[in-house]
Amino acid sequence: MALQLYNTLTRAKEVFVPVDASHVRIYCCGPTVYSYAHIGNGRTFTAFDLLARVMKHLYPTVTYARNITDVDDKIMDRAKALGQSIETVTETTTAQFHADMDALNLLRPDVEPRATGHIGAMIAMIERLIAGGHAYAAEGHVLFNVPSMPDYGRLSRRSQDEMIAGARVEVAPYKKSPADFILWKPSAEDQPGWDSPWGRGRPGWHIECSAMTAAHLGPVFDVHGGGLDLIFPHHENEIAQSRCAHGTQVMANYWVHAGFLTMSGDKMSKSLGNIFTVAELLDEVPGEALRLALLQAHYRQPLDFSKEGLRQAKATLDRWYGVLRAAGTVPAAKVPDEVLAALEDDLNTPLAFSLLHELANRFHKETDEGARRAVAASFKAAANLMGLLTQDPEAWFRWTPKGAEGLDEAAIQAAIQARKDARAAKNFAEADRIRKVLLDQGVVLEDGAQGTTWKRV
């Protein structure tokens, strides 16, 4: 079947028709690097990573862009609170973001533009908007003239009053309309700023993505998206700026948004104190387990996150890696048609995972060695497409939570050898004792045709 995506712009699932089938271009709004990524961020970026992987499987060339916002008032506030330079905050936070996303097995984007590297492009876009009557300068600011765009609000489908309230716009005497939003604002001496026709200042948040997408993907591209919370005002304002600057009917043909993540039914929020960062969760479970947990629900649906769900994801991957351990080296194989079809249906991960479970069951039931290897090969190909089962099974089973005390590998191997010697001497009581000692320290032994293997639990 053809790839289908739910398009927020039309509120319908549509067959994906690229602008250029030889080069698909997609964009996800990236992090503002002032603090560590939380699991809500992780869910959005993992969903777009899966979309990029599926796109790269289906099309010859795909450019996946995800930006870094490194100029923002939140960054300035964070730097002041820490007593650090803005550059120190952005660099250290960006490095942590990359480490977190790598651990979740996210592909690095093909293009990762930084806002501070595109200030000139932002100024040029603002000048075009002013020339076209879509923006105006006032008291050192430049604002987008919302009434100049008749169908402003098409993405969010809000009334004018709802948009004004939802945007929480600043009341200012220099605004022509309450809905007008900032493209450029003045900077104080102790704030980052760039020279412009309107004085020294810095860009508004929304103009950044419009300038970066135009620079790297063109004025009209295939897919744009991010978290559901970005539909309004951020994505609505991006569309307004980009369309009016370039004279196009659309900015992107498909708008894809990941749903909210909740904790025990409550929306994650700092005020409720129920936010986990990706970094702290990676101390408790391997990155692939967190990835699986974040993909369990369909990306557009709410995902209720829990530590128990994380433990279940780890147990599932233990079983799946057990298939690869038992199969040994398997040949390359194509992704099973039914798994690909599930992912082509608007990234239907629940169905794809149920099919992976079926393949794992088939492997365990199959008695013919050649057939078992073939099933394992298909199973691995399907999981790899989803960014899973990419490690060596032995490395997976030896992962240990941060701070956990236990035997090192040399001690475990020595115990396994001692148990082997006890069994050879028919001292089964001693062999059983050694197994129990290891189990008490979180090490499970598994005897098979290839000898004894072990894993931590």
Q: Which residues are annotated as a binding site for ATP?
A: 270
Q: With CA atoms as reference, report the closest residue to 388 among 428, 435, 338, 335.
A: 335
Q: Are 278 and 12 in contact (CB under 8 A)?
A: no
User: What are the C-alpha distances in Å from 58 to residues 3, 104, 125, 198?
Assistant: 9, 23, 34, 46
Q: With CA atoms as reference, report the closest residue to 230 among 44, 105, 406.
A: 44
Residue numbering of the annotated binding site for Zn(2+)? 29, 209, 234, 238
3-class secondary structure per residue, the chain:
CCCEEEECCCCEEEECCCCCCCCEEEEECCCECCCCCEHHHHHHHHHHHHHHHHHHHHCCCEEEEECEECCCHHHHHHHHHHCCCHHHHHHHHHHHHHHHHHHCCCCCCCECCEHHHHHHHHHHHHHHHHHCCCEEEECCEEEECHHHCCCCCCCCCCCHHHHHHHCCCCCCCCCCCCCCEEEEEECCCCCCCECCCCCCEEECHHHHHHHHHHHHHCCCEEEEEEEHHHHHHHHHHHHHHHHHHHCCCCCEEEEEEECCEEECCEECCCCCCCCCEHHHHCCCCCHHHHHHHHHCCCCCCCEEECHHHHHHHHHHHHHHHHHHHHHCCCCCCCCCHHHHHHHHECCCHHHHHHHHHHHHHHHHHCCCHHHHHHHHHHHHHHHHHCCCCCCCHHHHHCCCCCCCCCCCHHHHHHHHHHHHHHHHCCCHHHHHHHHHHHHHCCEEEEEECCEEEEEEC
Q: Which two tokens stand for residue 50?
A: 């899966």
Q: Are 128 and 161 in contact (CB under 8 A)?
A: no
Q: With CA atoms as reference, report the closest residue to 176 among 143, 205, 154, 149.
A: 143
- AA letter at 331: P
